Amino acid sequence: MSYVTTADGTQIFYKDWGAGRPVVLSHGWPLNSDSWEAQQLFLADHGYRAIAHDRRGHGKSTQSWHGNEMDTYADDLAALLDHLDLRDVTLVGFSTGGGEITRYIGRHGTARVAQAVLVSAVPPLMVRRDDNPGGVPIEVFDGIRAGSAQDRSQLYQDLADGPFFGNNRPGANISQGIRDAFWLQSMAAGHRNAYESIAAFSATDFHDDLATFDVPTLVIHGDDDQVVPFEVGGKASAALVKGAELIVYPGAPHGITDTHKERLGTDLLTFLSSFGATA
């Protein structure tokens, strides 16, 4: 298996598939790189080098006691890009991973980056504050924290069976296999790591990071996302990134990497193919 060791000794696991211009995929909470397997295989089959890593505390990476916040997540991503010496990278972040790549650009710039894609992503800011009145009430995240502390296995099952894939909507037909995979990946995360990451994805303010974006950016978001509401996430981020392209999936839930994987693959491929025209 392939690992990169960060400055504090944490080992970050990654999968490196295919050959061509690199695409780096950053996963959502509390999942791991396996959640990208459909897109990673699709992109590798279409001439790209598709790389997906497990965030610290998730999947096969070290369950570090410290560093379960966005600055360190971004620095870990930088360690991966530096280790592989990647150039002209397209960064793709889903949900919490969207925060990770956004903070990466904010802290490390775009010297290695050609394009960015935010999918159902948490930026610019999820939690409701006086200066973010449309955000999600803190009580929602406190409830997730309470569920994680009391019975996180059941919490993950409830998320998979309900809002994450929109399985609580009339006519939804999300397979048991997809829901089981969500639970399995989630349970592979460290208890403390997953708990502390709730604050990282909900309370980190990415407005200043988004203002530094200077590469072509695609924002994809479902307008029935019950985890990161469209108005709080994709719509707000697209308005903050100069020249960003926004694609809205009508009626789509949060977990579109599974529920809309065919369309997502096609949209990613179209955006990736525009690199030559925009470089």
Place of tokens 């030559």: 276
Which candidate in 54, 225, 258, 267 is catalytic?
225
254 as an active site residue: the answer is: yes
Which residues neighbour 157 within 8 Å (Cβ) at sequence distance 6 or greater? 179, 183
Which candidate in 95, 120, 148, 237 is catalytic?
95
Which candidate in 221, 254, 260, 267 is catalytic?
254
Exposure string of 31-64, with b = 16+ CB inside 10 Å and e = fewer, is bbbbbbbebbebbbeeebbbbbbbbbbbbbbbbb
What angle do the packed helices 96-108 and 191-203 form, to 10 degrees?
Answer: 70
225 as an active site residue: the answer is: yes
β-sheet bridge partners, residue 249: 222
Report the distance separating Cα 148 and Cα 256, nearest Å: 23
Q: Which two tokens stand for residue 203?
A: 């309370």
197 as an active site residue: the answer is: no
So which residues are the catalytic ones?
A: 95, 225, 254
